[in-house]
Structure 1
Amino acid sequence: MITGTQLNVIQQALLNRTKKVSLNNTWRMLHDSEAIGRVRGRDLHLDDLDFVRLDQIYKQYRKVEADINIPKGLSRFEHVKYSINEKDTNKSVFSDYLVFASVNAALPLKSGMLDISHPKFLATIDINEVDTSAIKQLVIVENGDMMVHLYKWHQYLPEQWQGSLFLYRGQGKNIKLVNELLERLADTAKIAVYSDFDPSGLLIVLNYISSRDIYIVVPKDWQNLDEEHSSNGLQIYLKQISQSINFDETFAKYTILNDIFQHMKKKKLAIMQENVHLMNGLDIIRVI
């Protein structure tokens, strides 16, 4: 099976009609499996018969001629207009969508309010469908499993935050979408970040600090947590702290983040979100 990236290499060769190409992994594969070209040192030399064969290979996988430009970032639904294999796109199925959950807050859409307050229900939506002006309070959650099980832990939050919208931080492109959403929110919207209670979690909070106020979700009485706590992941802490990051310098500008990090460092703490039910509850503190 030839990948989308390899097909793009073939497409460029057909368009440019280059008679000599560098013998990279794609051309090595085409030479070995399809007898394309002749190896000369570090190059592969192509002739007219090779281009005929390359065109045949290209048409085995694509529905259009090589001179038709295929837009980047297409969904699978859109990509099948051009490709026989709908998975021949580098776009993840849910890469362009935000993931929300709620206990009692409706999700404001431009088409109206959507009730998403159902156990284990996650709303996946295009950012342009969200009425961002109507979002008043948002909690960004690091781990997906915590989103699924929101109904089992929301009560540990301060009461005034339990009715928030909850947004999954996501991976890859989703992270950029979350940042874009924050930029669209009203200045009066309150934003809290709930990450793991460890140095890496503090870095996540730091990434959201800009011109707006940000709040951090932490275990209640975090000052009393120590290395012997049953939920502490000492090895996780040691692995994170061994990274080539100057954590002291990174958090020094923000009093609360620095205070929390210094306590983490002193007690060697790394406590994952999933241990929330073993804490004494959660606090939400403004980052200053």
Structure 2
Amino acid sequence: MAGLTRSHHNAVHRLLRERLDRVELNRTWQQLHAHFELGRPAGRWLHFDADARRLLQRMAQDEWGFDPLEGVPDGSRREVAARAVDEKIARRRPDDDFVLVKGTLPAPLPPLAPGLSLRVALERLDSAAIAKVVLIENLDSFDDWEDYPAPPELAGSLIVYRGHRGLARGARQLLEGLPPSTRVIVFPDYDPAGLAIAAALPRAAALLLPELDEALLATGNRAHFTRQFRQARQLEDADLEGWQDEWQTMKRHAVSIKQQHMLALGAVLRQVPRR
């Protein structure tokens, strides 16, 4: 069992479900072949007859605690632990359906002092009571939000960390569930990746961007801007609406300005509506 992940379980599931006679002997199947000592290698392929598939199914079920033909069990790690030996294969990750928030939280959640944040299950947030959301790309900028020279009209906003993996999915679910009256403002890095993040988010009504000056532009990183060519290509094809002029300005300067530099230099932030 050691070293096998959900990708290994999924590979066995596909073999059994589709009754494959052979699979490509890639790294995943090399590890499975070494682990179960089943299948006949021949060149780039690992061959299985019906007997070998049945034996693999039985051995995997004995070891994993669930029938691999049925696939990885649904549920959280706690729920999967009741059926499987390795609870880490659970499809629902610990951060799924959670968001990291601060600022003005809707009742009955408690008010938070500056510098404090709360990891909250989505079901505990009354989305109908949220008037404004500021979604922040980077965790340290989320932590330092109170120190940014933000527009005063953003006072009273729910501040949300965009996050990665489960937290990012939770943030997206939160935005999708907000009422039409809620205004969503996205605060990213000033670069193609940041703008692409904002453009792809549901309900993003405005960008929070820095007032550019020579000192701030001098901190910009041209190499980082150039490396974001995939995001730049996406933006060329995207309907940016009111952000189109900002994209043209960003291309003209061709530098990536990080949120941390905006804070360090005291850059004033401004809202740019999408429509």
Q: Does the alignment reach a TM-score above 0.5?
A: yes
Matched AA of 2:156 = G
**Counterparts in 2 of 1:66 and 1:113: CA distance versus 1, 3 Å:** same
Contact 1:101–1:150 (8 Å) recurs in 2:
no
Q: Distance in 2 between matches of 1:274 and 1:75?
A: 36
Contact 1:138 1:165 in 2 (8 A): yes
CA RMSD of aligned residues (A): 3.3
- Which entry has the higher C-alpha Rg, 1 or 2? 1
Alignment size in residue pairs:
270
CA gap of 1:265–1:129, structure 2 versus 1, over 3 A, is: same
Task: Give the match for residue 270 of structure 2.
Answer: 283
Residues 11 and 58, structure 1, Cα contact 8 Å, conserved in 2: no
SS in 1 for 2:93: coil
Deviation at 1:260, TM superposition (A): 1.8
For the pair 1:140 / 2:135, whether they are aligned, the reply is: yes
Do 1:226 and 1:269's aligned partners in 2 also have CA atoms closer than 8 Å? no
Structure 2 CA distance for aligned equivalents of residues 88 and 170 of structure 1: 21
Considering fraction of residues, name the structure with more helix.
Answer: 2
Task: Tell me whether 1:215 sits opposite 2:206 in the alignment.
Answer: yes
Q: Cα distance 1:170–1:53, how it changes in 2: closer, same or farther (>3 A)?
A: closer
Pick closer, same or farther for the CA change 1:167–1:54 going to 2, 3 Å: same
Q: Which residue of structure 1 lines up, in the alignment, with residue 180 of structure 2?
A: 187
- Whether 2:46 is the aligned partner of 1:60: answer no
Deviation per CA, 1:105-151: give whole Å up to 9, x if none: 2x22xxx4212523443322222221111001110111122122333
**Counterpart of 2:89 in 1: which secondary structure?**
coil
CA-CA distance at 1:203 after TM superposition? 2.1
2-structure distance, mates of 1:161, 1:237: 29
2:251 aligns with one of 246, 261, 265:
265
Per-residue CA deviation, residues 29-84 of structure 1 (Å, 9 max, x unaligned), is: 4444443244466452446587456523432232x455766533x22111101112
* Aligned twin of 1:169: 162
Q: CA 1:198 to 1:227, structure 2 compared with 1: closer, same or farther past 3 Å?
A: farther
Structure 2 distance, partners of 1:248, 1:180, is 27
Distance in 2 (CA, whole Å) between partners of 1:276 and 1:151 is 13
1:130 paired with 2:125, answer yes
Deviation larger for 91-100 or 233-242? 233-242
Change (3 A) 1:122 1:49: same
Instruction: Name the amino acid aligned to 1:129.
Output: R
Structure 2 CA distance for aligned equivalents of residues 30 and 203 of structure 1: 38
Give the gaps of 5 or more residues in structure 1.
none
Deviations 1:212-263 (CA, angstroms, capped at 9, x unpaired): x7122111x33xx348734212222232357661645646x524x2222222
Q: How does 1:59-138 map to 2 (within 5 A)?
A: 59-62=62-65, 64=66, 70-72=72-74, 74-102=75-103, 105=104, 107-108=105-106, 112-138=107-133
Kept in 2: contact 1:215–1:284 (CA 8 A):
yes
Distance 2:71 2:252 in 1: 57
Structure 1 pair 29–203 and aligned structure 2 pair: CA distance change class (3 A): closer
- Following the alignment from structure 1 to structure 2, what is the Cα–Cα distance between the partners of residues 260 and 14? 52
Q: Secondary structure at the match of 1:77?
A: helix
CA contact (8 A) 2:93 2:166 kept: no
Structure 2 alignment gaps of length 5 or more: none
Q: Distance in 1 between the 2:112 and 2:49 partners? A: 61
The structural deviation recorded for 1:172 is 3.7
Find out whether 1:229 has 2:229 as its counterpart.
no
Asked if 1:44 corresponds to 2:39, the answer is no
**TM-score by structure 2 length?**
0.80
